[in-house]
Chain A
Amino acid sequence: MSLRIVVCVKYVPDATGDRHFADDLTLDRDDVDGLLSELDEYAVEQALQIAGDHTGDDAEVTVLTVGPEDAKDALRKALSMGADKAVHVEDDDLHGTDALGTSLVLAKAIEKTGYDLVICGMASTDGTMGVLPAMLSERLGVPQVTLLSEVSVDGGTVKGRRDGDAATVRLEASLPAVVSVTDQSGEARYPSFKGIMAAKKKPVESLDLGDLDIEAGDVGLEGAWTAVDSATERPARTAGTIVNDEGKGGDELAEFLVSQKFI
C-alpha cells in the first residue's frame, strides 16, 4: 500500500531578527531573513520517520508551502532533510492572505497533490495562531489528530499522544487524516551534505491560484476575513533597577516587592 504524506511548511521571518510591519500593515519581509519555520522542521522529521517505518517502499513525502518566491528556501531545506518532492503555491494575489484564506489555498493544493496523511507544525513562528491544522481538517473533511508529542501510523490508522491542559490523551483516527506535531515530538535531523546535493535535483512544482481554481478576490489583503487597523511598536520597557548581590540581594528584592504591594 502506498502512503502519500503532504507536509505543510511555512517560510517565516527569523524570530531573532527585527520583525516589522510594512505600510499596508502586512509583515515586512524585506528587512529580515526568512527561513523554514523551526516548528515545521518537527513536522518534516515525523513525516520522514513515518515514511521510513512504512513497510512497503512506496511512501512518498511531499512538502507544500504557500508563500512568496523566497519561500523556495524553506522547500529546499525540507528537501535536503529528505523529503521527495515539493509544491510551491505562489501568486502575487496571495499577498496579505489571512488564516481562512491560507487554509483554503492549502486545502485545494493538498487535494490536487493527493494525500493519505497531512502533517503540520503546531503553529507558525510568526503568526503563532495554531489554527491551520484544524481548518484543514474541516475543509478536507478528514479527522484532525493534532498537537501530538508522539505519532505513529499503523496500517490505515494514525495514533498519537496529545498533552492537553487538563489531561494527556491517546488518540486514534483512520487515514486520511490531518496531523500536527509539537516540538516535543523529537528533534529534527540536520540535512547531510548528500541530502543538500540531492535536494537540488528534486522536483519543485509551482502552482498559482488559477491552477487551484481559486478566485483572486477570495484571498489576499482585499479578500481577507480580517483587517488590521493599526500596529504600534510596544514602548520599550522603562529601564528597571538592577543591583548586584552583595549578600543582601534577596532581602532588597523583598523590599522592592513590598514597595510594589506584592507582599
Chain B
Amino acid sequence: MAEVLVYVDHVDGAVRKPTLELLTLARRLGDPVAVSLGAGAADTAAKLAEHGAVKVLTADAPEFADYLVVPKVDALQAAYESVSPAAVLVPSSAEGKEIAARLAVRIGSGLITDAIDLQAGDQGPVATQSVFAAAYTTNSRVTKGTPVITVKPNAAPVEPAAAAGTVEALAVTFGEAATGTKVVDRTPRESTGRPELTEAAIVVSGGRGVNGAENFAIIEALADSLGAAVGASRAAVDAGWYPHSNQVGQTGKSVSPQLYIASGISGAIQHRAGMQTSKTIVAINKDAEAPIFDLVDYGVVGDLFQVVPQLTEAIKARKG
C-alpha cells in the first residue's frame, strides 16, 4: 500500500490530539509514516505506533527551535524524498499551513488547506472544506504533484490501531534559507489547566456583553463546570478583557466542538466563521434580534449575569 506522510505536532514529545486525528485520516489513504521533529521527537513514537504509524522518522537539531519554519520544511522535504508518499498531511495550525505552503512550492504540488474531512478517491484524496464562513461545503482535489493537505482539528475521531511504528533517524541537511529568520526570544504560553481551545469538546465563549475582565470569571466558572475551554469574541479581546490566544473567529481560532456556548456575543460574520461548524450551538443574549440566534439549537433571551451563574449551579448540582 502507498505510504502517506503525517507531520507530527507535539510539545516536548507529547503528541497533540489533531495529529492522532490525522493518523485516522491517513489510514484511509495508505500506510501512515510519521515525521517527528525537534526536542522530544523520539518520545512520540510509542503513541504514534498505537495510532497506526508504520514508521516514525525523527530528527532533532537546535535549528528547529532557533529559526522560524524553514528548518522544518527542509526536514519534511527530506522525508518526502526518502518515502515518495501518495500524500502529505499536516495539522492546520498557523505554522502547519506555512510548512505545507513552502513544501508545496518546493515539490511543485498543489495545496489544500483547512480540510474538515478526507476520503480516498479514484483520482487521489478528496478533501472537504467549509468556506465563506461555513456557508458552503466544497470537495476538492490536488491535480498536480503529490497532494499536500492541511487538516483542521476535530476533522476525524482518534482511533487506536496498532502498527509497527519503527523508528528511523531522518537525515536532514539544512539549506541556506533555514537560518534566515532567527528566534531571538521565546516566552512559552502559560498553561491555564483548561483544554486546548481548538481541541476541546466543549467551548464556552464570552463577548462584549460580559462587560469587563473581572466578569470573565463567570464564563470561566461555567467552562470549569463542564470541563470546557474558554473562548472570547474579538470585541472582548480588543477591550483587553481576555487574551488574544482565546479569540474565536476569522482572525482568531477556528473551533468545531460538540458544544459551543456563546454568552453576550452578537454573532457577527467574522465570529461565526470560527464556530459555525460546531455540532450543537447555545447562546445567551439579552437581545432577541441578535444574529447568533439564527444559528442556535437552544437560545436564551436574557441577561447573562442571571442565566450563566444559574446554569453553572444547576450543572454542579447535577454532577454532584
Contact = CB atoms under 8 A, between A and B. Distances in A.
Interface of A: 15-16, 19, 21, 25, 39, 98-100, 103, 122-123, 125-126, 128-135, 137-139, 141-147, 149, 162-174, 177, 182-184, 224-234, 237, 240-245, 247-254, 256-258, 260, 262-263
Given A226-B140, A234-B137, A171 B184 contact: yes
7 contacts: A98-B110, A131-B97, A138-B177, A171-B182, A226-B141, A240-B293, A250-B300
B69 A134 contact: yes
Contact of B136 (A21, A225, A241, A250): A21
B269 A16 contact: yes
A176 to B, nearest CB: 10
A32 B68 CA distance: 38
Nearest to A168: B187
Contacts of B145: 225
Given A135-B105, A144-B69, 5 more contacts: A134-B97, A226-B111, A226-B112, A244-B300, A251-B310
Nearest to B143: A227
Nearest to A39: B251
A262 B257 CA distance: 12
Contacts of B306: 245, 247, 249-250
Given A100-B111, A241-B298, A170 B183 contact: yes
Nearest to A224: B143
Given A229-B139, A245-B300, A253-B300, A166 B11 contact: yes
Contact of B295 (A25, A237, A258): A237
Contact of A134 (B101, B140, B269, B313): B101
Contacts of B280: 260, 262
A258 B259 CA distance: 12
Contacts of B102: 134-135, 137-138
Given A134-B101, A147-B94, A230 B139 contact: yes
Contacts of B258: 262
Nearest to A246: B302
Contacts of B78: none
Interface residues of B, number: 90
Interface in B275-320: 280-282, 284, 288, 293-303, 306-315, 318-319
Given A171-B183, A173-B180, A163 B245 contact: yes
B105 A138 contact: yes
Contacts of B188: 166-167
Contacts of A260: 259, 280, 297
B140 A168 contact: no
Contact of B184 (A132, A170, A241, A244): A170
A200 B68 CA distance: 40
A250 B314 contact: yes
A169 B313 contact: no
Contact of A240 (B105, B106, B270, B296): B296
B170 to A, nearest CB: 21
Contacts of B131: 231
B307 A144 contact: no
Nearest to B12: A166
B203 to A, nearest CB: 12
The 10 A-B residue pairs whose C-beta atoms are closest, nearest first, are A245-B302, A250-B310, A225-B110, A143-B180, A254-B314, A131-B101, A250-B311, A134-B98, A170-B185, A242-B299
Contacts of A174: 180
Given A237-B294, A244-B302, A144 B141 contact: no
A16 B134 CA distance: 13
Given A129-B113, A172-B182, A249-B300, A165 B94 contact: yes
Contacts of B11: 166
Given A131-B113, A243-B300, A250 B183 contact: no
B184 A240 contact: no
B256 interface: no
B181 interface: yes
A167 B189 contact: yes
Contacts of A131: 97-98, 100-101, 111, 113
Contact of A173 (B182, B270, B297): B182
A232 B138 CA distance: 6
A240 B319 CA distance: 26
Interface in B197-232: 202, 226
